[in-house]
Amino acid sequence: MQLRLLISVISTFSLFGNEVYALWPIPRTLQTGTSFVKLSPDFGITVNVNNPPQDLLDAVSRTKAYIQTDKLQRLTVGRGANDSSAIRSAPMLAELRVSLNSGSTVRPIADESVRPLAQRVEGYSLTVPSNGSAAVLTANSTLGLFRGLTTFQQLWYDLSGVTYSYQVPVVISNDTPAFPYRGFMLDTARNFFPVDDIKRTFDAMSLVKINTFHWHIVDSHSFPLQVDQFPEVSQQGAYSSDEVYTPVDIQDIVSYAGERGIDVLVEIDTPGHTAAIASSHPEHIACNQASPWGNFANEPPAGQLRLASAATTQFIASLISSVAKTLPSTLFSTGGDEINSNCYAKDAQTQSDLSASGRTLEQALNVFTQATHKSLTDLGKSPVVWEEMVLSHNVTLPASTVVLVWISSANAASVARKGFKLVHAPSDYFYLDCGAGEWIGNTVGATSWCDPFKSWQKAYTFDPYANIPSSQRSLVLGGQQLLWTEQSSPENLDSIVWPRAATSAEVFWTGATLPDGTPRNGNTALPRLHDIRYRMVNRGIEAIALQPHWCALRPGACNS
């Protein structure tokens, strides 16, 4: 009797076999079966939550719409035609029941999405029976329910108008992310991206459980951010009056993101990367448009804030505060990368300010940084900085500061040794713009500084704990992929980002091991990444192909 029971269990459930649901990111716990179930024409999602917030109800409506319209056929030879007999005899699933666990606080998804990282609750449990009885989704927060809904969406395929799932029963128990921060950064200053492009990016991010949009909104090239208290900065610093983000746009973007489980982390990079401010406030910018630019900046145009000036320090602290107070996120980035010391050495005003104060440049930078960060901590926000502020400069930073490691993945260990929380954003793994050749003119045959192209395979091998001792691993918050846009615009946004950016979503949600305990590996990842890419395309996201369609239909056939 016990042997027959054991055989029955094994035939009903498989622990992440070779052919598994194309879920991305793969849940940290997952059991699947071998049966089929199809959705009833009257399928509904029942929300058993007291006074459910509107954004949860909206998420449920979107989930039903996606399931009805994705129409994704299985990526197999015949596109699922061999499933037809099993589908005809399969039981019908009529309902998904959604509820919060007892004792959970009911908050809007948007509110949960911007809670401090340590307090953010994203886990969920999901079961889909094989006998047609109701599927069940539970969580401890509405944000967790939202994450579970995105997983549920990925279970379904279409054959001749019938929506079905082919590996039930499904049991996912307390699928929680390995890391709280899973991000994507977009630079909207070098080239402008309309609001609709950003929203479409959020749709793709939420599908793969990316929860942070790092918005590098301004830079030396343009200042498209309208600030009510400083209207002149964007009026004169944006490319045009049509290429700006108004306060209404910002709130629209933040709201759209929050409803999709995404926190918007805005960056106003200082003191470098600020030449665009010279159009309205030349008194605050050193070496504006200085030539040759290579002596004064890492890329044209040259120009950075006169950090030794008390007036400049007050100006930028007020500007940052004016923006930060309008945003719900607890994080705000002040940048701090690529400060050019030669610029300040050649700037007479800066040298005069240093002489008058009796400070060195590093001491002035410390005063400047403490002022800008105080404008954030006074609002209850934590500053975010690039790694140079910790590794290259001697400045005092609040204990809550989050450090973005970008120059090299090898530098993360040095940041951790200094006791700072960190986010992996290394150019050697996660820079999506690398490999397109040098964008500076008159450079025939030159390559980009961060060549080669960062393939999804490279990103997928990333180890967040490399060279970081166990005693410091709690400092690692997660990671993000980044798109600097010297050679990107709305025309190639989707294709350069997706599906590559989804790789880090799994690295930082699933962690180092798959549900069966084996190490995460590219061979089992590729069929699932194909699947999520095709699903994105069906939703209007122009994600680029990873292989010929022939290979996508034959998992493993195009491996070496």
Residues identified as active-site: 338
User: Do 335 and 273 contact (CB within 8 A), yes or no?
Assistant: yes
C-alpha span between 140 and 189 (Å, rounded): 39
DSSP 384: E
SS3 content of the chain, % helix, strand, coil (to 5): 35, 20, 45
C-alpha span between 227 and 247 (Å, rounded): 7
Q: H/E element holding 254?
A: helix 247-258
Cα-Cα-Cα-Cα dihedral of 484, 486, 490, 494, to 10°? -50
User: Do 326 and 268 contact (CB within 8 A), yes or no?
Assistant: no
C-alpha span between 483 and 184 (Å, rounded): 8
Task: Name residues whose C-beta falls within 8 Å of residue 429's C-beta, 6 or more positions apart in sequence.
Answer: 409, 454, 458, 459, 462
Report residue 473 as tokens. Answer: 């691993």
DSSP 119: G
User: Which residue(s) pair with 264 in the sheet?
Assistant: 213
Report residue 31 as tokens. Answer: 């059991």
Report residue 240 as tokens. Answer: 């045009």
Residue reference for tokens 């029941």:
97
User: Do 263 and 257 contact (CB within 8 A), yes or no?
Assistant: yes
Report residue 513 as tokens. Answer: 């091991």
Q: H/E element holding 164?
A: strand 162-175
DSSP for 24-38? SSPPSS-EEEEEEEE
C-alpha span between 366 and 314 (Å, rounded): 14
Contacts of residues 515-520 at CB distance under 8 Å and 24 or more positions apart, as own/partner, are 515/15, 515/16, 515/26, 515/27, 515/28, 515/29, 515/30, 515/31, 516/15, 516/16, 520/460
Which CA distances in Å does 250 have to 317, 394, 443, 447, 457? 20, 34, 38, 36, 34
Task: Name residues whose C-beta falls within 8 Å of residue 257's C-beta, 6 or more positions apart in sequence.
Answer: 113, 202, 213, 263, 264
DSSP 3-state assignment of 57?
helix
Task: Name residues whose C-beta falls within 8 Å of residue 255's C-beta, 6 or more positions apart in sequence.
Answer: 110
